[in-house]
Amino acid sequence: MSDASLQPTESNATTQEQQPPLLKLVNVTRRFGGLVAVDNLSLSLRPGEILGVIGPNGAGKSTMVNLVSGFATPNTGAILYQGLEISRLPANRRNHLGIARTFQLTQPFKGLDVRENVMIGAFFGRHKMTRQQALRKADAVLEQVNLTHKAHFKGDQLTVADRKRLEMARALATDPQLLLLDEVMAGLTPIEIEQAVELIREINRSGITVLVIEHVVRAIMSLSDRVLVLHHGRKIAEDTPAEVLSDPRVIEAYLGERYARQRKSKHINDENIDVGL
Ligand SMILES: Nc1ncnc2c1ncn2[C@@H]1O[C@H](COP(=O)(O)OP(=O)(O)OP(=O)(O)O)[C@@H](O)[C@H]1O
Ligand SMILES: [Mg+2]
């Protein structure tokens, strides 16, 4: 990865702090039988920000995305979007309000090509569209994610990186204000990760607020204005990337003892950490 492209962007936190939250979770809990997947979680997401979410496997990250996007409902607590309580709205209603998500396991519609997959996103998205308008939207989004040259490929002919791009394209085609990205860099090569980071920055610069879940720590640290750390469904840290990286609770729960030992024994430049868990 070239260091230049993974440098932190200048934070626009000051202006963001003055705005009311776009998304707010208030004491949200989701249980599966005896297991508490998301445990009394509260958080706010400001318009225009990139919030990174990290945590070990099973920490509740995808469940959190499911709760916000309408693929799960909380047992207790409230989810507010632009001040509106959405906790029990179906997923398509939330999508029409401007919330879109990708799936950790990519699921393109079988039998349809890339362009048709993206068109469906446009068709059922925030704005009513004719077939022609949906086609134009799909083509514009494919251009944005650099998939135009594979527009007529079927889902199963795509590389992992392209499938992740298709996931993002389908979400973008719905014209979201809030984009929830669940591990869109998993399985990518370092160069593909660099490209994905750049694409997410570009999406954010176009005015879309982003919540990004990722295990590629270096990428998440360079992308995010703030980072939230989940462990056993609970928030154990929420701070700037630099603060989170040096938080002993985060090191112990997620970044690992090996990293903690390395940090003690020699000076490590945080920008060069690559904990590809
Ligand atoms: N539909 C479900 N039914 C039962 N248990 C579930 C369900 N969805 C999630 N879980 C459990 O909830 C916990 C949190 O899962 P979740 O998928 O949110 O974790 P995650 O942080 O996304 O993990 P990963 O990094 O592996 O993707 C896990 O123990 C998981 O097995
Ligand atoms: Mg997950």
109 or 276: which carries more pLDDT confidence? Answer: 109
Arithmetic mean of pLDDT, 55-68: 96
Query: Which helix (H) or strand (E) is 202 found in, with range?
Result: helix 190-205
Q: Please name the residue whose Cα sits nearest to atom 4 of ligand 1.
A: 32
User: What confidence tens digit (pLDDT) does each residue in 153-176 have?
Assistant: 998 889 999 999 999 999 999 999
Going from N- to C-terminal start, the domains of the chain cover 22-98+210-269
pLDDT at residue 8 is higher than 60: no
> 152 exposed, middle or buried (CB, 10 Å; 0-12, 13-18, 19+)?
exposed
Helical pair 160-172 and 131-144, crossing angle rounded to 10 deg = 130
Paired with 216 in beta bridges are 276
How does DSSP classify residue 21? P
User: Which pLDDT belongs to residue 210?
Assistant: 98
Arithmetic mean of pLDDT, 140-152: 96
Distance 123 CA to ligand 2 centre (A): 27
With the most atoms of ligand 1 within 8 angstroms of its CB, the residue from 35, 36, 67 to mutate is 35
CATH 3.40.1160.10 fits 22-98+210-269, yes or no: no
Q: Is there an atom of ligand 1 within 6 Å of 58 CB?
A: yes
With the most atoms of ligand 1 within 8 angstroms of its CB, the residue from 28, 29, 32, 254 to mutate is 32
Distance in angstroms (rounded) separating the CA atoms of residues 218 and 7: 10
User: Which pLDDT belongs to residue 207?
Assistant: 97
User: Which pLDDT belongs to residue 274?
Assistant: 44
Q: Is there an atom of ligand 1 within 6 Å of 55 CB?
A: yes
